[in-house]
Chain A
Amino acid sequence: MRVVIAEDLALLRDGLQRLLRDNGFDVVASVRDGEALLREIEAHKPDIAVVDIRLPPDFRDEGLRAAIEARKQSPDTAILVVSQYVEQAYARELLADGRGGVGYLLKDRILHVVEFVEAVRRVAEGGTALDPEVVAHMFSSQTAGGPLERLTPREQEVLALMAEGRSNQGIADALVLTVGAVEKHIASIFSKLDLPQSGIDHRRVLAVLAYLQGQAPS
Chain B
Amino acid sequence: MWSRLFGRQTWEEAAFLLSAAPLGTLWFSILVTAWSLGLGLLVTPLVIPIAFGMPFLITASAGAEAALARRLLGARVYPPHAPRMRASFWRRAFGWLTDPAMWRAQAYLLLRFALGFPFAIGMATLLGLSIGGIAAPLYYWSLNRGIRLDAWHVDTLPEALLLTLAGAAGLAITMLLFRLLARPQRSLAESLLERSAEPADTAPRPTVAERRRLLAVRTAGFGFAFVVLVAIWALTSHGYFWPVWPLLAFLLTLGLQSWRLFVDENPEHWRRPGLNHSIAGQAGASAVVFLFLVGVWAASGAGTFWPVWPLLGLTITVLARAGTLYFSPPGQEELTQRIDVLTNTRAGAVDQQEAELRRIERDLHDGAQARLVALGMTIGMAEQKMKDDPEGARELLEEARAGTGQALKELRDLARGIHPPVLADRGLEAAVIALADGSPLRVVVHAEVPQRPAAPVESAAYFVVAEALANAGKHSQARRVDIRMVRDGDVLTVEVADDGVGGADLNGGGLSGLRRRVEALDGTLRVASPAGGPTLIRAEMPCG
Binding site for B on A (CB under 8 A): 54, 60-61, 84-85, 87-90, 106-108, 111-112, 137, 140-141, 143, 216-218
A140 x B438 contact (CB < 8 A): yes
Q: Mark B406-426, 1 if CB is under 8 A from A, else 0.
A: 001100100110000110111
Q: Mark B294-307, 1 if CB is under 8 A from A, else 0.
A: 00000000000000
Is B443 positioned at the interface, with any CB of A under 8 Å from its CB? yes
Is B401 positioned at the interface, with any CB of A under 8 Å from its CB? yes
A87 x B405 contact (CB < 8 A): no
B433 x A218 contact (CB < 8 A): yes
Q: How far is the CA of A54 from the CA of B422 in the complex (A)?
A: 11
A85 x B442 contact (CB < 8 A): no
Q: How far is the CA of A141 from the CA of B437 in the complex (A)?
A: 6
Query: Per a CB cutoff under 8 Å, which of A54, A106, A112, A217 touches B437?
Result: A217
A111 x B405 contact (CB < 8 A): yes
B442 x A107 contact (CB < 8 A): no
- Extra inter-chain contacts (19) besides given A60-B424, A88-B438, A218-B433, CB under 8 Å: A60-B425, A61-B421, A61-B425, A84-B415, A85-B415, A85-B421, A87-B422, A87-B434, A88-B437, A89-B422, A89-B434, A108-B408, A108-B409, A111-B401, A112-B401, A137-B437, A137-B438, A140-B438, A217-B436
Q: How far is the CA of A61 from the CA of B425 in the complex (A)?
A: 6
Q: How far is the CA of A90 from the CA of B430 in the complex (A)?
A: 10
- Residue numbers in A under 8 Å from B412 (CB-CB): 84-85
- Residue numbers in A under 8 Å from B421 (CB-CB): 54, 60-61, 85, 87
B405 x A140 contact (CB < 8 A): no
What distance in Å separates the Cβ of B374 from its nearest Cβ neighbour in chain A? Answer: 16
Q: Looking across the interface, which residue of chain B has its beta carbon closest to that of A113? A: B401
A-B pair count, CB < 8 Å, reads: 51
B415-455 residues with Cβ-Cβ distance < 8 A to A are 415-416, 421-422, 424-426, 430, 433-434, 436-438, 440, 442-443
- Residue numbers in B under 8 Å from A107 (CB-CB): 408
What range describes how many residues of B lie at the interface?
20 to 34
Of the candidates B404, B408, B437, B438, the one having the most CB atoms from chain A within 10 angstroms of its own CB is B437
Query: What are 13 A-B pairs at a CB distance below 8 A?
Result: A60-B421, A84-B412, A85-B415, A88-B434, A89-B430, A108-B405, A111-B404, A112-B401, A140-B438, A141-B437, A217-B436, A217-B437, A218-B436
Q: Looking across the interface, which residue of chain A has its beta carbon closest to that of B404? A: A111
Q: How far is the CA of A107 from the CA of B415 in the complex (A)?
A: 15
Of the candidates B404, B421, B426, B434, the one having the most CB atoms from chain A within 10 angstroms of its own CB is B421
Interface SS of A by simple majority: loop
Q: Looking across the interface, which residue of chain B has its beta carbon closest to that of A62? A: B425
- Residue numbers in A under 8 Å from B430 (CB-CB): 89
B177-228 residues with Cβ-Cβ distance < 8 A to A are none
- Residue numbers in A under 8 Å from B440 (CB-CB): 140
Q: Looking across the interface, which residue of chain B has its beta carbon closest to that of A144? A: B440
- Residue numbers in B under 8 Å from A141 (CB-CB): 437-438
Query: Per a CB cutoff under 8 Å, which of B416, B426, B433, B443 touches A85?
Result: B416
Q: How far is the CA of A60 from the CA of B425 in the complex (A)?
A: 5
Query: Which 3 A-B pairs rank lowest in CB-CB distance, beginning with the nearest?
Result: A61-B425, A60-B425, A87-B422
Query: Per a CB cutoff under 8 Å, which of A112, A216, A217, A218 touches B442?
Result: A217
What distance in Å separates the Cβ of A92 from its nearest Cβ neighbour in chain B? Answer: 10
- Residue numbers in A under 8 Å from B422 (CB-CB): 87, 89-90
- Residue numbers in A under 8 Å from B426 (CB-CB): 61, 89
Q: How far is the CA of A143 from the CA of B441 in the complex (A)?
A: 9
Q: Looking across the interface, which residue of chain B has its beta carbon closest to that of A83? A: B421
What distance in Å separates the Cβ of A198 from its nearest Cβ neighbour in chain B? Answer: 28
- Residue numbers in B under 8 Å from A218 (CB-CB): 433, 436-437
- Residue numbers in B under 8 Å from A217 (CB-CB): 436-437, 442-443
Query: Per a CB cutoff under 8 Å, which of A89, A90, A108 touches B433?
Result: A89
Q: How far is the CA of A137 from the CA of B405 in the complex (A)?
A: 19
Q: Looking across the interface, which residue of chain A has its beta carbon closest to that of B408? A: A108
Q: How far is the CA of A54 from the CA of B408 in the complex (A)?
A: 16
What distance in Å separates the Cβ of A84 from its nearest Cβ neighbour in chain B? Answer: 6
Q: How far is the CA of A61 from the CA of B423 in the complex (A)?
A: 11
Q: How far is the CA of A152 from the CA of B499 in the complex (A)?
A: 32
- Residue numbers in A under 8 Å from B416 (CB-CB): 85
Q: How far is the CA of A26 from the CA of B224 in the complex (A)?
A: 90
Q: How far is the CA of A89 from the CA of B434 in the complex (A)?
A: 7
What distance in Å separates the Cβ of B217 from its nearest Cβ neighbour in chain A? Answer: 40
- Residue numbers in A under 8 Å from B433 (CB-CB): 89, 218
Q: How far is the CA of A106 from the CA of B437 in the complex (A)?
A: 19
What distance in Å separates the Cβ of B87 from its nearest Cβ neighbour in chain A? Answer: 37
Q: Looking across the interface, which residue of chain B has its beta carbon closest to that of A93? A: B426
What distance in Å separates the Cβ of A36 from its nearest Cβ neighbour in chain B? Answer: 20
Of the candidates B404, B415, B433, the one having the most CB atoms from chain A within 10 angstroms of its own CB is B433
B219-266 residues with Cβ-Cβ distance < 8 A to A are none
- Residue numbers in B under 8 Å from A85 (CB-CB): 412, 415-416, 421
B366-425 residues with Cβ-Cβ distance < 8 A to A are 401, 404-405, 408-409, 412, 415-416, 421-422, 424-425
- Residue numbers in B under 8 Å from A84 (CB-CB): 408, 412, 415
Q: How far is the CA of A140 from the CA of B473 in the complex (A)?
A: 14
Q: Mark B451-492, 1 if CB is under 8 A from A, else 0.
A: 000000000000000000000000000000000000000000
Q: How far is the CA of A25 from the CA of B430 in the complex (A)?
A: 37
Q: How far is the CA of A71 from the CA of B440 in the complex (A)?
A: 34
Q: Looking across the interface, which residue of chain A has its beta carbon closest to that of B433? A: A218
- Residue numbers in A under 8 Å from B401 (CB-CB): 111-112
Q: How far is the CA of A89 from the CA of B433 in the complex (A)?
A: 9
Q: How far is the CA of A107 from the CA of B437 in the complex (A)?
A: 23
What distance in Å separates the Cβ of A205 from its nearest Cβ neighbour in chain B? Answer: 21
Of the candidates B412, B424, B425, B430, the one having the most CB atoms from chain A within 10 angstroms of its own CB is B425
What distance in Å separates the Cβ of B402 from its nearest Cβ neighbour in chain A? Answer: 9
- Residue numbers in B under 8 Å from A90 (CB-CB): 422
- Residue numbers in A under 8 Å from B442 (CB-CB): 143, 217
Q: How far is the CA of A107 from the CA of B421 in the complex (A)?
A: 15
Q: How far is the CA of A106 from the CA of B440 in the complex (A)?
A: 23
- Residue numbers in A under 8 Å from B405 (CB-CB): 108, 111
What distance in Å separates the Cβ of B476 from its nearest Cβ neighbour in chain A? Answer: 17
What distance in Å separates the Cβ of A57 from its nearest Cβ neighbour in chain B? Answer: 14
Q: How far is the CA of A22 from the CA of B298 in the complex (A)?
A: 104
Q: How far is the CA of A112 from the CA of B425 in the complex (A)?
A: 28
Q: How far is the CA of A89 from the CA of B128 in the complex (A)?
A: 75
Q: Looking across the interface, which residue of chain B has its beta carbon closest to that of A65? A: B425
Q: How far is the CA of A108 from the CA of B412 in the complex (A)?
A: 10
- Residue numbers in B under 8 Å from A106 (CB-CB): 408
- Residue numbers in A under 8 Å from B437 (CB-CB): 88, 137, 141, 216-218
Q: How far is the CA of A200 from the CA of B442 in the complex (A)?
A: 36
Q: How far is the CA of A90 from the CA of B424 in the complex (A)?
A: 13
- Residue numbers in B under 8 Å from A54 (CB-CB): 421
Q: How far is the CA of A137 from the CA of B437 in the complex (A)?
A: 8
Q: How far is the CA of A143 from the CA of B415 in the complex (A)?
A: 29
Q: Looking across the interface, which residue of chain A has its beta carbon closest to that of B436? A: A217
